[in-house]
């Protein structure tokens, strides 16, 4: 309302009152800019900008005009938040740095803005009033994926497994917003997992299985640890999904992989436990390796009461299970048969696979005995020889000796041949060593200590390293040598016809 007062020179007056309505100016809201996306996780913001023009005088407004920004929460233009206020600057720009919280779902959202609750300008948003245009503009909100391992877990300390175990690795994927049910957990994410060996190398990425039903959003992979290294293993969980920032979670030294040492399933043994020292002995031990590693069994033998040990060979089990057999034999220098047998022999197996090494118990075997032999007659039975004073005549006695324990020729060994000197007595014997072919050769040349006649002879082993084997009796015919001696005459003279 306004009033007009009039007064003339004669002091006459008049007064007129008039009422006039003055409305708020009509604004025009222009979209200026917005970010392509806003991260929901953390204190990250995106700037949204509009500009306000006075549509009545076609000029940009100055500072201080009240503006409001609205952002959709559920991916539709029908569900906006309650709004966020600010004022224009001197050039008419209205700005708002939007921090998306867990009130907003990920994906495409919308925003709108305009003048709101201003004294001079009417409430008006995009697309409303002069000029028309879009009433809202789209942008994206990104959430943050989170990986949470379920098993193996540290509920009871660091998990431990044996090599060859099938290890279940199970985890779920969520967002940073625990209040959004469909993001806790998140279904159908793209996931991989990797495992880092104790030496720092990485196993190739594995593709977990997507669980369904009540466990949708959980992912699992069963890892076969056969042949893997012993030590601390780390896990890396990787996940990605549209409208979420990916996540890679590293779980250092997450579980221990134990290479369980092989165990002997039987006591170490040797077959035979006692026999002639020249034979082959079969040493054995039963082995079970839960990890199926290649397992080696090295035989160590002592022949001097455990003062010194000698490596007698190694057997290998490709999968770590079965019986290790090592065939060993002894040298002449290994044995002391002064008592007829050698009992200070010991052995054990050194067992080692790819990660472990240990020794079996020590066993006091085998007992080594004199080697078994067979003496075979070749020549000399029923032979004939003449007794001479100078032993100038001889006959050949030949024998062959074989080692029955190793089915071979024995080392040169002592054989003694005994011959009768008369009907009741024997000579003291002739001892010689067999040759490298196992033959004993004896040229028997009797002198006058022997009496003519059919005499017996035999041979026996007299070597401390071989059994005392005796042949049967053989025959040799000893012939005396006749010597003609002129007794008379011895140079005398006799007349013809005398006796």
Residue with tokens 């490596």: 311
Sign of torsion, CA 117 122 127 131? negative
Average pLDDT of span 7-19: 73
What are residue 73's DSSP bridge partners? Answer: none
Q: How far apart are CA 35 and CA 98, in angstroms?
A: 10
Condensed to tens digits (0 to 9), the pLDDT of residues 103-137 reads 999 999 999 999 999 999 999 999 887 777 889 99
pLDDT grade, residue 49 (50/70/90)? very high
By DSSP bridging, strand 160-162 and strand 244-258 are parallel
SS3 category, 213: helix
Q: How far apart are CA 430 and CA 414, in angstroms?
A: 10
Measured from the Cβ of residue 326, the count of other Cβ atoms closer than 10 Å reads 22
Residue 233 clears pLDDT 90, i.e. is over it: yes
Residue 474 clears pLDDT 90, i.e. is over it: yes
Q: How far apart are CA 98 and CA 96, in angstroms?
A: 6
SS3 category, 124: strand
Q: How far apart are CA 191 and CA 208, in angstroms?
A: 7
Condensed to tens digits (0 to 9), the pLDDT of residues 56-74 reads 999 999 999 999 999 999 9
Q: Give 59's contacts (C-beta < 8 A, 6+ positions apart).
A: 53
What string of H, E and C letters represents the secondary structure of 229-280?
A: CCEEEEEEEEEEECCEEEEEEEEEEEEEEECCCCEECCCCEEECCEEECCCC
SS3 category, 214: helix
pLDDT at 2: 59
Q: Please choose, from the candidates 127, 144, 187, 135, the residue with its C-alpha nearest in 3D space to the C-alpha of residue 37.
A: 144
- Region for 48 from its dihedrals, namely left if φ exceeds 0, alpha if ψ lies in -120 to 50, beta otherwise: beta
pLDDT grade, residue 21 (50/70/90)? low
What are residue 149's DSSP bridge partners? Answer: 171
By DSSP bridging, strand 244-258 and strand 274-276 are unpaired
pLDDT at 212: 96
Q: Please choose, from the candidates 334, 333, 352, 356, the residue with its C-alpha nearest in 3D space to the C-alpha of residue 343.
A: 334
Lowest-pLDDT range, 15-24, 285-294, 332-341, 472-481?
15-24
Q: Is 49 exposed, middle or buried (0-12, 13-18, 19+ CB in 10 A)?
A: middle
Q: How far apart are CA 256 and CA 160, in angstroms?
A: 5
Condensed to tens digits (0 to 9), the pLDDT of residues 198-223 reads 999 999 899 999 999 999 999 999 99
Please report, rounded to a whole number, the percentage of residues in the chain having pLDDT higher than 90: 84
Average pLDDT of span 276-303: 93
pLDDT grade, residue 486 (50/70/90)? confident
Q: Is the pTM of this model over 0.85?
A: no
Which tokens in the block code for residue 277?
Answer: 């020292």
pLDDT at 27: 95
User: What one-character DSSP code corresponds to residue 49?
Assistant: E
Average per-residue pLDDT for the chain: 93
pLDDT at 20: 56
Q: Please choose, from the candidates 34, 62, 60, 49, the residue with its C-alpha nearest in 3D space to the C-alpha of residue 114.
A: 49
Condensed to tens digits (0 to 9), the pLDDT of residues 421-442 reads 999 999 999 999 999 999 999 9
Condensed to tens digits (0 to 9), the pLDDT of residues 148-157 reads 999 999 999 9
Condensed to tens digits (0 to 9), the pLDDT of residues 403-421 reads 999 999 999 999 999 999 9
Residue 51 clears pLDDT 60, i.e. is over it: yes
């Amino acid at each position: 309302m306004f009033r007009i007062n009039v007064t003339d020179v004669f002091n006459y007056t008049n007064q007129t009152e008039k009422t006039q309505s003055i409305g708020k100016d009509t604004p025009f809201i222009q979209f200026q800019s917005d970010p392509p996306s806003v991260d929901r996780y953390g204190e990250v913001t995106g700037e949204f900008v509009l500009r306000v023009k006075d549509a009545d005088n076609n000029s940009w407004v100055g500072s201080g005009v009240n503006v409001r920004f609205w952002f959709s929460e559920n991916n539709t233009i029908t569900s906006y938040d309650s709004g966020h206020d600010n004022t224009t600057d001197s050039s008419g720009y209205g700005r708002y740095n939007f921090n998306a919280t867990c009130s907003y779902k990920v994906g495409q959202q919308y925003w709108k803005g305009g003048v709101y609750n201003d004294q001079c300008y009417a409430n008006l948003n995009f697309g409303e009033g002069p000029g028309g245009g879009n009433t809202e503009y789209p942008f994206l909100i990104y959430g943050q994926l989170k990986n949470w391992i379920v098993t193996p877990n540290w509920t009871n300390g660091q998990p431990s497994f044996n090599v060859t175990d099938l290890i279940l690795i199970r985890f779920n994927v969520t967002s940073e917003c625990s209040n959004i049910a469909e993001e806790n957990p998140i279904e159908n994410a793209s996931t991989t997992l990797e495992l880092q060996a104790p030496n720092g190398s990485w196993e190739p990425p594995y593709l977990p299985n997507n669980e369904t039903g009540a466990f949708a959003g959980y992912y699992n992979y069963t890892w076969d640890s056969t042949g893997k290294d012993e030590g601390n293993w780390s896990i890396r969980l990787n996940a990605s999904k549209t409208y979420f920032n990916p996540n890679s979670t590293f779980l250092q030294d997450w579980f221990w992989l134990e290479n369980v040492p092989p165990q002997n399933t039987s006591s170490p043994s040797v077959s035979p436990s006692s026999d002639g020292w020249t034979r082959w002995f079969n040493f054995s031990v039963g082995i079970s390796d839960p990890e199926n590693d290649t397992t080696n069994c090295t035989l160590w033998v002592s022949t001097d009461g455990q003062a010194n040990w000698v490596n007698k060979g190694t057997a290998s089990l490709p999968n770590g299970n079965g019986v290790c057999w090592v065939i060993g034999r002894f040298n002449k220098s290994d044995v002391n048969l002064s008592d007829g047998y050698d009992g200070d022999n010991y052995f054990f197996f050194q067992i080692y696979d790819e990660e472990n090494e240990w020794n079996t118990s020590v066993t006091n075997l085998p007992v080594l005995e004199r080697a078994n032999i067979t003496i075979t007659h070749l020549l000399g039975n029923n032979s004939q020889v003449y007794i001479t004073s100078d032993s100038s005549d001889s006959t050949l006695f030949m024998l062959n000796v074989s080692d029955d324990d190793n089915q071979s020729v024995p080392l040169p060994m002592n054989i003694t041949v005994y011959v009768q000197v008369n009907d009741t007595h024997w000579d003291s014997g002739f001892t010689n060593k067999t040759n490298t072919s196992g033959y004993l050769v004896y040229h028997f040349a009797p002198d006058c200590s022997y009496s003519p006649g059919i005499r017996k002879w035999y041979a026996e082993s007299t070597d401390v390293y071989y059994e005392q084997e005796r042949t049967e009796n053989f025959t040799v015919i000893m012939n005396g040598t006749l010597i003609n001696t002129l007794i008379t005459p011895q140079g005398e003279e006799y007349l013809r016809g005398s006796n």
